[in-house]
């Protein structure tokens, strides 16, 4: 019995369709019958199961690898390693649990927006009932402050205005008119004869017939879309998952080969078994998930300092591969503060400086000269201030405006000229949609009527015009002068208001409203707009340079959207795609229009959701911003959902991955910058960890293939793992962003973690580390045998130290894939310098402290051994230093070479 397209039907047809009575409402018996068929509850799907969410954290491939490493470490008696790995697993699981649990609460937040009670007429009686008991056909009464309990087709409206910002994105209350019949394809924001569940009455009274309940409301449709949205793995999660699977296969295969070769060569079976297990523990980079988590968490801290509050850790990395940013206009690209930009009297047109609710600013003429209000301009400012119900308050140094945004802009304009003293109001004729103007009578020496409103209406009520200080009878040319100026201003999406006044005769108190608003004196006009935020245009340029497509999606008027888009550089194309047009486009056409036109206006929640899904289907990585309930499905569907911290609803915040504390588009671009830097750092420590681990595996494998004794004992393998895998890798994770990081195009969503030759770089360095370690082992073993002693202790000490220092030298090369550590500034990462020094001291302790020598089976090293180790381990880094110094000193008319 819900009425489809009820906004496009007249009241009689809707009443007939729901079979109700406009005077007495539904009978109690009919209500009971309909309640069996209809529910006014927004369904939330399956209830959240915290235990299931927690268990899901332990089925990730990398986590299973770590759990296996924990068991193995316990078997071989390495309880310290086992406890460390288990701690990493538990911390990661808890972080994942809290992030996923919070995300699932977004649907529950929608439920809280529903009105708890409703005032209805049933069987001729006025009743207050729980809103869940409403059925189609119920007659609902609305008053200022009420929440709408269901979707209503209004049948009565008296100066009724609704706050629909959470649903449509409109920042200004919407005036409702029950008598209007809208077109079938009318956008949600223009359905002025409807009241929607979850919106609020800001002014006036009304009465409506329920035409949609529960899941058949606009709010219900949004909840349905959110339930349909499936959570997908982020690019980083997919890459780490595949990496974990590859590591399992490779590590097990190599460890098995090493063990079997050693046994075949006659080595002790238990020794080789322990060596194989130790190699498996050393080969698996158990620190990788922990370092990823810590690096992402540090990124969260940095972003929070820049007003980007990240709710889901993987979102930090995903930001780095964002290709499209879909942004709401109001409050994100603009200030969400109506601002008067131009003011005109008959003789002058002036610019109004300053933005938003700041009273700092002046009136300037076309030459940039300051203008002090006099004559007609002073009268205009007097009308702007007094024919106004808004107020300007200074709180903690900031100016706050209480009241309608349009009137607030006029109060701020008057304050900029020094007009702040208000006259006493003797009578008010409120604004309504029929008259399209507001009037007040003030005591200004003598009673005077002050009027503001739509210019074309006010001009028709004017018999005179003021020019400077002289009042003259208005002519057709005078009217034409102002109307042409209004048309010019409208092309820049300025909202125009006219101003007029009238000196009242004695006995005005008895005059009706219509008679008062005649024979007015036209004073002038002003043009206002919600201006772009400072820095937005620069942020849009940064997006273009970084290969990111910015897209504006707004519920505002197409003309306003186009003007703002041109001003900030999103699109110079005047063509705006509207909601009804989206319905007529195929997915491919919509994708093309999104990438080329980049501006959408008058869109519904379904349109936003479709735009996001079409972009994702074309392998775009989409960041979607919003603040209302209408934005929540698209926010949840996007790769990165972003909501506003100041104006955002709880529903949109719960659905989002990131919250902008300052509601500023520039903050998103800053977050993308940080996201790219974080992904770079993740690649850096993966390069380091895997290069080192491959080196360790190849040392053991090559020694077995060459028929050599074990070059490293099991305890020495575990020591290398402890000394080199932790602190240096962590320090790489906090490397500063590289220069020109926002000049690169976004990386493809499906780009592998080893793209751009990283895999070969890692393997090559692993081979190099293995070769120098085997070389050091052979030199030590040969030297010891030549001196008639057991060469293994010296050989293993040399191999152990070469392996450790080779990795510590290697960590500096991993600081960048494009620049040498000397171009970056060798000492610029102080954390890395400290980490390397700590690791070096740990290695020295096992060589020179007798108690540790016994445990790790090492011997002290002398001068020639250290020279050999430094030459082998540091050869590549020393070569790069030499090349850098030569290039810098020769000054061949170019900057130092990248090596």
Phi, psi of 42, rounded to the nearest 5 degrees:
-80, 115
Long-range CB contacts for residues 394-401, cutoff 8 Å, separation at least 24: 398/357, 399/357, 399/358, 399/359, 400/357, 401/337, 401/357
Q: What is the spatial distance between Cα 302 and Cα 319, in angstroms, rounded to a whole number?
A: 14
Distance CA 596, CA 588 (A): 12
- Integer Cα distance of 713 and 692 in angstroms: 17
Task: Give the contacts of 589 (CB within 8 A, at least 6 positions apart).
Answer: none
What's the token pair of residue 703?
């020694």
Burial label, 882 (beta-carbon count in 10 A; 0-12, 13-18, 19+): exposed
Helix (H) or strand (E) holding 678: helix 665-705
Q: How far apart are CA 688 and CA 814, in angstroms?
A: 6
φ and ψ at residue 778, rounded to 5 degrees: -65, -40
358 CA to centre of own chain: 27
Q: How many CA atoms lie within 13 A of 17 on its CB side?
A: 19
CA geometry: angle 690, 232, 218, nearest 5 deg: 160
C-alpha Rg value of the chain to the nearest Å: 36
763 to each of 57, 521, 650, 693, how far by Cα in Å?
31, 84, 48, 10
- Looking at residue 532, what DSSP letter applies? B
Environment class of 728 (CB within 10 Å of its CB; exposed 0-12, middle 13-18, buried 19+): buried
Which residues are within 8 A (CB) of 10 and not within 5 positions of it... i.e. 6 or more apart?
181
Catalytic positions are 328
Cα 312 from Cα 310, distance rounded (Å): 6
C-beta separation of 218 from 605 below 8 A: yes
43 neighbors 223 (Cβ within 8 angstroms): yes
CA distance 649 to 631: 10
Name the residue with tokens 């609020």. Answer: 200
796 contacts: CB under 8 Å, gap ≥ 6: 711, 712, 713, 716, 777, 780, 857, 858
Which residue, among 663, 747, 662, has the nearest Cα to 317 in the 3D structure? Answer: 747
Which among 603, 604, 578, 606 has a CA at the least distance from the CA of 593?
Answer: 578
Bridge partners of residue 162, in order along the sequence: 174, 201
Best CA proximity match to 504, nearest among 489, 521, 491, 490 = 521
Compute the distance between CA of residue 646 and CA of residue 661 in angstroms, rounded to an integer: 6
Query: From CA 387, how far away is CA 439, in angstroms rounded?
Result: 6
Residue 678, token pair as written in the block: 């974080």
Other Cβ atoms within 10 Å of 825 Cβ, number: 11
For residues 389 and 385, give the distance between their C-alpha atoms in angstroms, rounded to a whole number. Answer: 9
For residues 152 and 160, what is the distance between their CA atoms, to the nearest angstrom? 14
- Residue 694 parent element (H or E): helix 665-705
Angle of helix 665-705 relative to helix 792-813, nearest 10 degrees, comes to: 160
d(CA 452, CA 414): 14
């Amino acid at each position: 019995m819900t009425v489809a397209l009820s906004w496009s039907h007249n009241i009689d047809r809707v009443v007939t369709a729901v079979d109700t009575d406009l005077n007495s409402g539904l009978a109690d018996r009919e209500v009971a019958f309909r309640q069996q068929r209809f529910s006014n509850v927004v369904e939330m799907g399956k209830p959240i199961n915290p235990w299931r969410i927690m268990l899901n954290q332990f089925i990730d491939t990398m986590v299973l690898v770590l759990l296996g490493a924990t068991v193995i470490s316990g078997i071989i008696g390495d309880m310290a390693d086992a406890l460390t790995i288990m701690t990493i697993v538990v911390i990661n699981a808890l972080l994942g649990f809290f992030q996923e649990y919070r995300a699932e609460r977004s649907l529950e937040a929608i439920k809280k927006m529903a009105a708890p009670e409703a005032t209805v007429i049933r069987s001729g009686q006025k009743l207050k009932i729980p809103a869940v008991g409403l059925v189609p056909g119920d007659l609902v009464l609305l008053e200022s402050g009420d929440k709408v309990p269901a979707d209503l087709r209004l049948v009565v409206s008296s100066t009724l205005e609704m706050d629909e910002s959470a649903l449509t994105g409109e920042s200004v209350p919407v005036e409702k008119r029950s008598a209007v019949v809208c077109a079938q394809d009318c956008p949600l924001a223009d359905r002025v004869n409807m009241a929607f569940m979850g919106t609020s009455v800001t002014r006036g009274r009304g009465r409506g017939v329920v035409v949609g309940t529960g899941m058949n409301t606009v709010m219900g449709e949004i909840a349905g879309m959110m339930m349909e949205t499936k959570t997908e793995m982020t690019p980083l999660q997919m890459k780490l998952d595949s990496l974990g699977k590859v590591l399992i296969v490779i590590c097990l295969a190599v460890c098995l080969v090493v063990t079997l070769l050693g046994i075949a060569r006659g080595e002790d079976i238990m020794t080789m078994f322990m060596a194989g297990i130790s190699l498996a523990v050393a080969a698996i980079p158990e620190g990788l998930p922990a370092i990823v988590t810590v690096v992402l968490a540090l990124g969260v801290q940095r972003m929070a300092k820049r007003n980007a509050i990240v709710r889901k850790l993987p979102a930090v990395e995903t930001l780095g591969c964002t290709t499209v940013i879909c942004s709401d206009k109001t409050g994100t690209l603009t200030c969400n503060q109506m601002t008067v930009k131009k003011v005109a009297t008959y003789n002058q047109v002036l610019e109004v400086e300053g933005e938003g609710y700041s009273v700092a600013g002046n009136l300037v003429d076309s030459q940039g000269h300051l203008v002090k209000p006099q004559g007609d301009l002073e009268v205009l400012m007097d009308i702007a201030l007094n024919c106004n119900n808004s107020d300007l308050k200074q709180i903690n140094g900031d100016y706050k405006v209480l009241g309608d945004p349009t009137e607030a802009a006029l109060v701020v304009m008057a304050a900029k000229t020094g007009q702040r003293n208000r006259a006493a109001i003797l009578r008010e004729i409120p604004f309504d949609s029929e008259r399209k103007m507001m009037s007040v009578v003030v005591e200004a020496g003598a009673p005077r009527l002050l009027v503001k409103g739509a210019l074309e209406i006010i001009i028709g009520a004017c018999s005179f015009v003021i020019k400077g200080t002289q009042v003259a009878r208005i002519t057709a040319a005078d009217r034409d002068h102002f109307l042409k100026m209004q048309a010019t201003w409208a092309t820049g999406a300025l909202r125009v208001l006219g101003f007029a006044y009238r000196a009242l005769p004695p006995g005005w108190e008895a005059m009706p409203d219509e008679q008062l608003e005649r024979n007015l004196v036209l004073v002038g006009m002003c043009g206002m707009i919600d201006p772009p935020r400072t820095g937005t245009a620069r942020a849009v340029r940064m997006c273009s340079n970084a290969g990111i497509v910015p897209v504006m999606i707004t519920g505002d008027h197409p003309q306003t959207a186009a003007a703002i888009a041109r001003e900030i550089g999103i699109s110079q194309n005047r063509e705006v795609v509207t909601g009804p047009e989206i319905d007529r486009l195929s997915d491919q056409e919509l994708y093309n229009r999104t990438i080329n036109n980049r501006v959408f206006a008058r869109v519904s929640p379904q349109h936003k959701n479709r735009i996001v899904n079409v972009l994702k289907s074309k392998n775009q990585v989409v960041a979607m911003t919003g603040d209302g309930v209408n934005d929540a499905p698209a926010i949840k569907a996007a790769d990165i959902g972003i909501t506003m911290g100041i104006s955002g609803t709880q529903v949109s915040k719960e659905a989002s991955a990131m919250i902008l504390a300052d509601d500023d588009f520039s903050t998103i671009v800053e977050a993308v910058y940080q996201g790219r830097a974080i992904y770079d750092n993740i690649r850096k420590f993966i390069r380091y960890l895997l290069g080192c681990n491959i080196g360790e595996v190849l040392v053991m494998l090559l020694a077995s293939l060459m028929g050599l004794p074990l070059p490293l004992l099991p305890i020495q393998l575990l020591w290398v793992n402890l000394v080199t895998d932790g602190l240096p890798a962590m320090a790489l994770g906090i490397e500063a962003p590289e220069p020109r990081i926002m000049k690169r195009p976004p990386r493809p969503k499906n780009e592998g973690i080893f793209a751009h030759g990283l895999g070969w770089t890692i393997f090559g360095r692993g081979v190099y580390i293995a070769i120098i370690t085997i070389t050091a082992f052979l030199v030590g073993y040969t030297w010891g045998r030549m001196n008639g002693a057991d060469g293994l202790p010296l050989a293993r000490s040399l191999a152990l130290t070469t392996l450790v220092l080779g990795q510590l030298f290697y960590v500096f090369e991993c600081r960048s894939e494009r620049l040498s550590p000397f171009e970056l500034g060798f000492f610029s990462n102080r954390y890395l310098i400290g980490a390397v020094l700590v690791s070096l001291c740990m290695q020295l302790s096992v060589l020179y402290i007798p108690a540790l020598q016994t445990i790790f089976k090492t011997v002290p090293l002398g001068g020639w051994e250290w020279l050999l180790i430094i030459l082998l381990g540091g050869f590549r880094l020393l070569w790069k230093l030499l090349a850098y110094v030569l290039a810098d000193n020769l000054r061949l008319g170019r900057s130092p070479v990248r090596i």
